Chain A
Amino acid sequence: MTATLNSLTQIDSPVFQPERGFIVAMARDARLAARSKGEAIQALAFFVVVVSLFPLAIGPESALLKRIAPGVVWVAALLSVLLTLPRMFANDHADGTLEQLALSVYPLPTIVAGKIVAHWLMTGLPLAVLSPLLGLQFGLASGELAVLCVSLILGTPVLSMIGAIGAALTLGVRGGSILLALLVLPLYIPVLIFGAGAVEQAMVSIDFSANLSLLGAIVLLAGLAVPFAVAAALKISLD
């Protein structure tokens, strides 16, 4: 770990490239996650368990289950991402790494962006890849499964990004995880609406591209602004 941390605090190339902070931070977080696979798998298992609870609560009536499938999968994805958010900065905060990162030669927003992408690769992407399997259990047709998967691929990065702001603001605060949910869930609503809406429109054979375009627009807008907001939030929390 020392080696990668050094690469963040020292300039190894003769020409200073600020964008390298993104790659180094992403690689570091991805390597850390790969060494403790349990955490990513737990989030995925949680996702599957929550989705499986709904048929048990509602009953095995397939027409009803099919109707609620997009909403159920999306809400479960939201909760699953939510549970992984505290880890995004908490470990680095606990052992002081985060302060080193804030002092690093690279701009903090680039490092934050790298961490967010790594978080998405470990949580959002696996959820999206697994989602067609769960959709199949609810009787979605193949075209609808594809839309579900694409909507999650487009939507989960936003969940990681907005979540990063909440995680940075609640860093080290007592009762942090419930507080985090309270802060972040209302801000997740547009993504939920557009994501689940796209699948619902595909189910009634309406053009769903508008919802996917809106999700794409939100990803781009959030991608521009969120790294700076998270960097500001981290500086407030580390002060």
Chain B
Amino acid sequence: MSLFKYSSPTAFYPLAGKLVPWFAALAAIFAVIGLYLGLFVAPEDFQQGEVYRIIFIHVPAAWMAMVIYLAMAMYGVMALTFNTRLSAMMMEALAPTGAIFTALALWTGALWGKPTWGTYWAWDARMTSTLILLFLYIGYLALINAIEDKKRADKAGALLVIVGSVNVPIIYFSVKWWNTLHQGASVSVTASPKMAAIMLWAMLIMAIACWTYAITISLVRVRAIILERERGRSHSTRVANTLSATNIVAGS
């Protein structure tokens, strides 16, 4: 029962503050281990050479791109059904991270594609649907930034992401079938060779690093959003006063 008290931004603010260093530490530790295993321990791929090592960031980024959109849709359902402000704030906090991971997945994919396929971009089903996912993130961010009334922006954004998440599987399958219809330019990503266990471990650890990074950064961002939105209410005034007091102390 007591967990529900954290659906209030005022109660969540200090909790998020306490969680941030832990998740940040976990993200740093897992990133170091994952990168070490991926870049130094894992053997060279016998087909692709060193280039394959980009998957240690590419695959986790692509996973996060999808997971974060789903998480946003889940928060969107909560925002509309329970009318909780914090859910909408979490959506707003997650969206930039999701968009960055999507862009990162596309960028690293292009960098990997050039030496392997001989082209930066192919209209492969996965690449195309990831690109569309990036458009969905951009659309959400554009919508919530264009609406001045925050309450309306929250709800409109939530509805848009829910509609978008219903569309994501339809988009994915349509793009997939479209791609198989036009066999010519397609490149098979699915027929990748079996991975060595150490490569898989490195990738999974990097995935955990990306998860914990995403949690850290969205908690930091949601704290900023709470402070900005609740400006003028007693709680945030108190926090703001403490902040400026520490700044004065640090400055002097």
| A residues apposed to B, CB below 8 Å | 162, 165, 169-170, 173-176, 179, 182-183, 185-187, 189-190, 193-194, 197, 200-201, 214, 218, 225, 229, 232-233, 236-237, 239
Q: Does B18 contact A (CB under 8 A)?
A: no
* Known A189-B174, A189-B175; contact A179-B136, beta-carbon cutoff 8 A: no
Which residues on A sit within 8 Å (CB–CB) of B139? Answer: 182-183, 186
Q: Does B191 contact A (CB under 8 A)?
A: no
Residues of B within 8 A of A (CB-CB), count: 27
> Do B142 and A179 touch across chains, with their CB atoms under 8 A apart?
yes
* Known A179-B146, A186-B135; contact A233-B164, beta-carbon cutoff 8 A: no
Q: What is the CB-to-nearest-CB distance from A94 to chain B, in angstroms, rounded to a whole number?
A: 18
> Do B159 and A236 touch across chains, with their CB atoms under 8 A apart?
yes
* Known A183-B160, A201-B181; contact A194-B174, beta-carbon cutoff 8 A: yes
Chain B residues touching A, majority SS: helix
Q: Does B132 contact A (CB under 8 A)?
A: yes
Among the listed stretches B57-65, B105-113, B149-157, which one makes contact with chain A, having 4 or more residues with CB under 8 Å of it? B149-157
| B residues apposed to A, CB below 8 Å | 80, 132, 135-136, 138-139, 142-143, 146-147, 151-152, 155-156, 159-160, 163-164, 166-167, 170-171, 174-175, 177-178, 181
> Do A173 and B146 touch across chains, with their CB atoms under 8 A apart?
yes
* Known A186-B135, A187-B167, A189-B171; contact A237-B143, beta-carbon cutoff 8 A: no
Which residues on A sit within 8 Å (CB–CB) of B136? Answer: 186
In the complex, 13 of the A-B residue pairs with CB atoms within 8 angstroms, ordered by the A residue number, are A169-B143, A169-B159, A186-B135, A186-B164, A186-B171, A187-B163, A190-B170, A197-B178, A218-B170, A233-B159, A236-B155, A237-B152, A239-B152
Q: Which 10 pairs of residues, A with B, have the shortest CB-CB distance?
A: A190-B174, A186-B135, A236-B155, A193-B178, A193-B174, A183-B139, A169-B156, A190-B170, A173-B146, A182-B139
Q: What is the CB-to-nearest-CB distance from B17 to chain A, in angstroms, rounded to a whole number?
A: 31
